[in-house]
Structure 1
Amino acid sequence: MAENNIYKNILYVDDEIHNLNSFRAVFRRSYNVFTALSAKEGKTILAENTIHLIITDQRMPETTGIEFLESIIKDHPAIPRILLTGYTDINAVIDAINKGSVYKYVQKPWSEDELRETIENALKIYTNSKNKEQLTEKLITTNEQLEFLLRQNLLS
């Protein structure tokens, strides 16, 4: 486990409080864990915090996990998503990938070691994506500066 993970914020959305409490108990020393009992509460947390990873249960009463993930893609496209479910439903897996841009589909009950590895890998993808964005921005700025200097040399 990387030492800087304590600064990584994970949002876990599940309508069952004992699942949220179990997740928090296992992962609170490794990450900043935010929990939500509903998709609506999850959206509020996303609006108020920088989240690096989203984990959601598939079967919830008001909104499915896939519907929740699909609804936040526009505002949070870079955040990796993990879908948890106690049900084996191939259509849910397909929808998770196609509609919710899910990084990984994890079966409940989850194994701590497997889920920790999945979280670590998803966070690496997020970090690499953010690093690429920053590098691209720097390259664009540098390119614009070089173009400006070239134009100045051509004009003089």
Structure 2
Amino acid sequence: MDVGVLYVDDEINNLNSFKAAFRRNFNIYTAQSAEEGSKILASNEIGVIITDQRMPVTTGIEFLESILHIYPDTIRILLTGFSDINAVIDAINRGQVYKYLVKPWQNDELKIYIQNAIEIYLLRKENKELTYKLQIATLELEHLTKTNR
């Protein structure tokens, strides 16, 4: 299963441009709202979430913050048309954002950020799996040690 990239933006033209630019390189999902984005997250393996900051109901930071405890390993990128220092601070502190980018994006630059984010996501996932296997092996070893005494 390919790891997906979710882009959340209330502007349909941005969603269409994003999908057209990156669909050949990545498994792209798009959503026009945080609610729609949450539904996509619930039914797909999403490694990278890119969200617009300024959306009508839920801001990008609010969305990222709301899903952080459910999807802690997903890499988060905030994309906005406005460079607001308070939004940058909130993105880093509340949404644990990997990158903060200003619209309009440059396709080549964003592609590299997405590739790097997917790599980080996959490394986190692999690290968790290896940690779990190590815990199981440790428990088995402890059990064998106790039974051989």
Q: TM-score, normalised by structure 1?
A: 0.93
Matches within 5 A, 1:115-130: 115-130=110-125
CA-CA distance at 1:20 after TM superposition: 0.3
CA-CA distance at 1:30 after TM superposition: 1.1
Matches within 5 A, 1:4-153: 7-153=2-148
Cα distance between partner residues in 2 of 1:54 and 1:18: 18
Q: Which runs of 4+ in 1 moved over 6 A?
A: none
Deviations 1:108-145 (A, max 9, x none): 00011110111111111111101110110110011111
Aligned to 1:3: none
Q: TM-score, normalised by structure 2?
A: 0.97
CA-CA distance at 1:8 after TM superposition: 2.3
CA-CA distance at 1:49 after TM superposition: 1.3
CA-CA distance at 1:7 after TM superposition: 1.8
Equivalent AA in structure 1 for residue 92 of structure 2 = I
Aligned Cα RMSD in Å? 1.0
Cα distance between partner residues in 1 of 2:2 and 2:145: 42
Percentage of identical aligned residues: 59
CA-CA distance at 1:44 after TM superposition: 0.9
Structure 1 residue runs of 5 or longer lacking an equivalent are: 1-5
Equivalent AA in structure 1 for residue 140 of structure 2 = Q
Equivalent AA in structure 1 for residue 12 of structure 2 = I
Structure 2 residue runs of 5 or longer lacking an equivalent are: none
Aligned residues: 149
Equivalent AA in structure 2 for residue 69 of structure 1 = L
